[in-house]
Amino acid sequence: MPHNDTYQRLITLFDTARTPYRLIDHEPDGATDSVSALRGHPASQAAKCIILRVRTAKKTTRHVPAVVPGDRRVDLGAVRALFNALYVGFSTAATAERLAHAVPGTVLPFAFDPDLELVADPAVIAQLQLYFNAARLDRSAAVSGADHARLARPRIEPIAGPESGAARETTPS
């Protein structure tokens, strides 16, 4: 699925579900802290989505999109405990792009692939207004945290670590 299709799928989801949303055009940027500044909101209101590699057995690996507030880091230990995993780490950029159908820095806090189990921290859902790049570096979307939860249907678990000084986990290593 080309990346433009991912953007269109998001807009279609919002429109079909009659969900109030706002689109924000800005300079191309995929880093949470700087794009939050471009959009004019605190990083804590951004949804940062990281595709994780979760190894649950010696030969069993799955990928999990994890969504945390933009000023926080994913707590890999919490994710490891959540899935009773042997190992949790960041997916490669190529794998994240293939699974999310979006380039790193634009991964949506939605899982359009049925094989992916989306996990979101409760602080994401609690946001009155939640901002994220809309599968594009130059356009973002804003929806309420409640609408995000209703549409994305994530597994809601405490997976955010402490606040980070520079929220730069948009590009998995």
In tens, the pLDDT along 37-46 reads 999 999 999 9
Residue 165 has pLDDT above 80, yes or no: no
Q: Is the dihedral of CA 157, 79, 147, 17 positive or negative?
A: negative
CATH topology of domain 3-158: YbaK protein (3.90.960)
Residue 147 has pLDDT above 80, yes or no: yes
Query: Can you give the residue ranges of every domain in the chain?
Result: 3-158
CA distance 44 to 41: 8
Whether 164 and 130 have beta carbons less than 8 Å apart is answered as no
The pLDDT score that the predictor gives to residue 167 is: 38
Q: What percent of the chain has pLDDT over 90?
A: 88
Residue 2 has pLDDT above 80, yes or no: no
Q: What percent of the chain has pLDDT over 70?
A: 92
Residue 7 has pLDDT above 50, yes or no: yes
Higher pLDDT, 121 or 165: 121
Q: Is the dihedral of CA 161, 129, 92, 166 positive or negative?
A: negative
Query: Please, what is the average pLDDT of the chain?
Result: 92
CA distance 26 to 22: 13
